[in-house]
Amino acid sequence: MKRVLVSACLLGLKVRFDGLSKENKEILDLINNFEFIPVCPEIMGGLSTPRVPSETRDGKVFNKDGVDVTENYLRGAKETLRLCKIYNCDTVVLKSKSPSCGKGLVYDGTFSGNLVSGNGITTDYLLKNGIKVYSEDEFINKFKNIM
Ligand code: SF4
């Protein structure tokens, strides 16, 4: 069975900044077709749950209090790649719009809900290292017919 790293919040784990999950039923419906391995780059980067929300700006990450947390985000990205290598896994599904996991669109750094083109820190790092990254919608659309 193909191994796929998946954002832990999509699987229902309460690891988000607000202490909640973002459980996605359509992802969970695919659980018998893949070996899902939960991953949360922000936790693996040394941040706590709950935590102050963060957004990317000019290639760095700042939390809403103005603290530069880029190092935590980079560490989480590297640890996620390490997990890919440990599990010999070349495919990940990451939660859209997150400053770590977003793909294609992320919040613009003003904490006003505006989205701009771009990837989260982990998404960018994994893509540069040859890992296939899907958003949850991309993954569902690609594989919903295999059930
Ligand atoms: S870092 Fe990724 S996996 Fe962790 S809570 Fe945020 S979106 Fe979910």
Is residue 45 within 8 Å of 13, Cβ to Cβ? Answer: no
What is the pLDDT, as a whole number, of residue 91?
A: 98
pLDDT tens figures, 86-128: 999 999 999 999 999 999 999 999 999 999 999 999 999 999 9
Q: Number of structural domains, the chain?
A: 1
Report how far ligand 1's centroid is from the alpha carbon of 15 (Å). 7
Work out the mean pLDDT of the chain and round it to a whole number: 97
Q: How many A from CA of 1 to the centre of ligand 1?
A: 24
Confidence of residue 140 (pLDDT cuts 50, 70, 90): very high
Q: Which helix (H) or strand (E) holds 101?
A: none
Q: Rounded to the nearest whole angstrom, what is the distance from the C-alpha of residue 33 to the centroid of ligand 1?
A: 22
Residue-by-residue DSSP string for 34-81: SEEEEE-HHHHTT--SS---EEEETTEEEETTS-B-HHHHHHHHHHHH
Q: What residue numbers bound the domain in which 38 lies?
A: 3-146
Nearest ligand 1 atom to the CA of 98 is 7
Name the pLDDT band for 145 (thresholds 50, 70, 90): confident
In which band, very low, low, confident or very high, does the pLDDT at 146 lie, cut at 50, 70 and 90?
Answer: confident
Which residue ranges have their beta carbon within 6 Å of ligand 1?
A: 7-9, 15-16, 40-42, 95, 98, 100-101
The dihedral sign for the CA sequence 53, 55, 61, 63 = negative
3-state secondary structure of 68: strand
Other C-beta atoms lying within 10 Å of the C-beta of residue 19: 11
